[in-house]
């Protein structure tokens, strides 16, 4: 028997334990050498195991408090998951008191023998390290989430307890590390998002990045421990979110959770509206309004990377400078210049418009024959006149879409297209989300205030578990 198993052999016959309620975070001491790892309540622990064939594998566990029959406090580890990304440099062996369990299981008191599963598999704990505190996962425990108290201003966003969701068939449960904040979240909060109905009690959030902690049946692509970013219809402003497994994409190498969380909503929207509906081709010219928005910064980079010329409008010199740096060939401060005057003769093939109002007529006048005008919003007014004869003579197309209400199947097909066409550009460094500022989850209202001020350039992201 090796030292690790000798140390814990007694625990296999140990006293029945009593589950304690999850305690608030208490900073535990760091990893130290030896066979036991001092932990705080709910610390996540990564364990490295040496398998019988000599290979190493990483697992993810969680330290939970318990007391033995004498009332002495202990920590034990449960929820040991496969961890797909081995890393070097661990420093200590682990105090592992229970065998690995299937994903998402909550262990029953007294069940299972300490580390028996690993021993039987010929595995040996060789290293462990604490990870920063994360909220515990148990479908029996509530999670922290931001809910909309009632339709209104930013202060209706309140942090509270919500039931931890369970993944249904075809879904995965993701422990959220970061959640992107988008203009549609503001519209939802205000009760103005078309078709959203009564928003009281809704958890907003259309995009997240995090780690898969449990998979429902029929979600074969993902396993607990996988780092993903995902598109949601709602529910991202929370410690855990269930997502259609087909709407998850792997976090591109080199991107932080904050950067990864800033991708799905804008990339899905831009890919569909500019490249599918608008059918922008290399060599053509795109005009994107709101160039410094999350959508705008993504559209500029993507169109530039795929060989189009890009014109954009934005509301300040600093915003225009940022747009130029991202690849815009024209960046027009619409507060000091008329974009139609500047672009007259430039020949625009596709316009991505979120402004509407008096931009509509200008956009149409700027379009080349066969040009496409694509709406994703109409912040200055949805109604506008057009000349049907001119439309026919110049073969113009007016179209648009909203992503959130589209079917799960549509979003799944779109996710596949995004992974095929956009992810390689992210990997090549040609698309990188521009992060303006991050906020802790609890400060979602402040994040919304900043978004509504329009002082930002790029994306605003909530960090969860910080």
Ligand X SMILES: NC(=O)c1ccc[n+]([C@@H]2O[C@H](COP(=O)([O-])OP(=O)(O)OC[C@H]3O[C@@H](n4cnc5c(N)ncnc54)[C@H](OP(=O)(O)O)[C@@H]3O)[C@@H](O)[C@H]2O)c1
Q: Residues in the site for ligand X, rule: CB under 6 A?
A: 182-184, 265, 269, 290, 292-295, 314-315, 319, 354-355, 376-377, 379-380, 401-403, 451, 454
Residue 230 C-beta: closest distance to ligand X, Å: 15
Closest CB to ligand X among residues 45, 320: 320
Q: Measured at the alpha carbon of residue 429, what is the angle toward residues 423 and 430, in degrees to the nearest 5?
A: 80
Smallest distance from ligand X to CB 293, Å = 3
Question: Minimum CB separation from ligand X for residue 427, in Å?
Answer: 23
Say what the alpha-carbon torsion angle 410, 412, 413, 417 is, to the nearest 10 degrees.
130
- Please, where are the H alpha helices in 248-316? 257-261, 264-270, 294-305
Contact call for residues 184 and 236 (beta carbons, < 8 A): no
Q: Which is nearer to ligand X, 343 or 354 (CB)?
A: 354
Choice between 41 and 265, CB closer to ligand X:
265
**Contact assessment for residue 165 and residue 241, using Cβ atoms and an 8 Å cutoff:** yes
The neighbour count for residue 42, using CB atoms within 10 Å, is: 22
Q: Within 13 A of 261's CA, how many CA atoms are on the CB side? A: 31
Burial of 379 from C-beta contacts in 10 A (0-12 / 13-18 / 19+): middle
CA 378 to chain centre: 26
CB of 355 to ligand X, least distance (A): 5
Q: Report whether 143 contacts 170 (CB < 8 A).
A: no
Distance between start and end Cα atoms, the chain: 41
Nearest distance from C-beta of residue 449 to ligand X, angstroms: 12
For residues 213 and 314, which CB has a smaller minimum distance to ligand X in the complex? Answer: 314
Distance CA 192, CA 388 (A): 30
Whole-number minimum distance, CB 315 to ligand X, in Å? Answer: 3
Q: Which is nearer to ligand X, 19 or 452 (CB)?
A: 452
Q: How far is the CB of 261 from ligand X (least distance, A)?
A: 13
Q: Which of 175, 195, 119, 118 is nearest to 441 (CA)?
A: 175
Rounded to whole angstroms, the Cα distance separating 215 from 166 reads 9
Looking at the Cβ atoms of 186 and 367, the one nearer to ligand X is 186
Residue placing its CB nearer to ligand X in the complex, 325 or 369: 325
């Amino acid at each position: 028997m090796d030292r690790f198993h000798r140390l814990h052999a007694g625990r296999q016959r140990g006293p029945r334990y009593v589950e304690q309620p999850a305690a608030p975070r208490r900073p535990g001491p760091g990893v130290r050498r030896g066979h036991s790892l001092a932990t705080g309540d709910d610390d996540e622990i990564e364990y490295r195991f040496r398998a019988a064939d000599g290979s190493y594998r990483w697992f993810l566990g969680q330290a939970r408090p318990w007391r033995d029959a004498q009332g002495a406090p202990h920590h034990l580890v449960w929820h040991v998951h496969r961890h797909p990304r081995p890393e070097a440099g661990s420093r200590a062996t682990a105090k592992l008191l229970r065998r690995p369990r299937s994903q998402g299981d909550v262990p029953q008191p007294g069940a299972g023998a300490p580390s028996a599963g690993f021993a039987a598999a010929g595995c040996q704990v060789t290293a462990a390290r604490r990870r920063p505190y994360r909220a515990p996962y148990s479908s029996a425990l509530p999670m922290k989430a931001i809910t909309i108290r009632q339709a209104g201003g930013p202060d209706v966003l309140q942090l509270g307890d919500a039931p931890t969701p369970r993944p249904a068939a075809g879904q995965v449960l993701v422990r959220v590390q970061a959640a992107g904040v988008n203009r549609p979240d503001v519209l939802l909060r205000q009760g103005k998002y078309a078709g959203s109905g009564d928003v009281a009690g809704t958890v907003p959030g259309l995009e997240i990045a995090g780690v898969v902690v449990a998979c429902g049946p029929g979600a074969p692509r993902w396993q607990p421990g996988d780092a993903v970013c995902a598109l949601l219809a709602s529910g991202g402003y929370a410690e855990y979110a269930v997502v259609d497994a087909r709407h998850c994409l792997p976090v591109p190498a080199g991107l932080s959770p904050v950067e990864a969380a800033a991708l799905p909503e804008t990339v899905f929207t831009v890919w569909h509206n500019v490249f599918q509906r608008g059918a922008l081709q290399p060599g053509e010219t795109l005009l994107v309004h709101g160039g410094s928005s999350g959508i705008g910064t993504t559209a500029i980079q993507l169109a530039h990377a795929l060989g189009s010329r890009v014109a954009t409008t934005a509301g300040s010199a600093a915003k225009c400078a940022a747009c130029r740096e991202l690849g815009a060939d024209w960046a027009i401060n619409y507060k000091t210049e008329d974009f139609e005057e500047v672009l007259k003769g430039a020949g625009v093939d596709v316009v991505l418009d979120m402004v509407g109002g008096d931009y509509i007529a200008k956009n149409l006048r700027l379009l080349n024959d066969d040009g496409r005008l694509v709406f994703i919003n109409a912040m200055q007014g949805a109604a506008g006149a057009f000349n049907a004869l001119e439309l026919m003579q110049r073969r113009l197309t007016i179209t648009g879409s909203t992503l959130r209400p589209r079917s799960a199947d549509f979003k799944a097909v779109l996710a596949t297209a995004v992974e095929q066409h956009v992810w390689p550009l992210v990997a090549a460094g040609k698309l990188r989300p521009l992060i303006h500022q991050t906020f802790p989850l609890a400060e979602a209202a402040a994040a919304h205030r900043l978004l509504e001020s329009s002082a930002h350039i790029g994306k605003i992201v909530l960090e969860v578990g910080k």
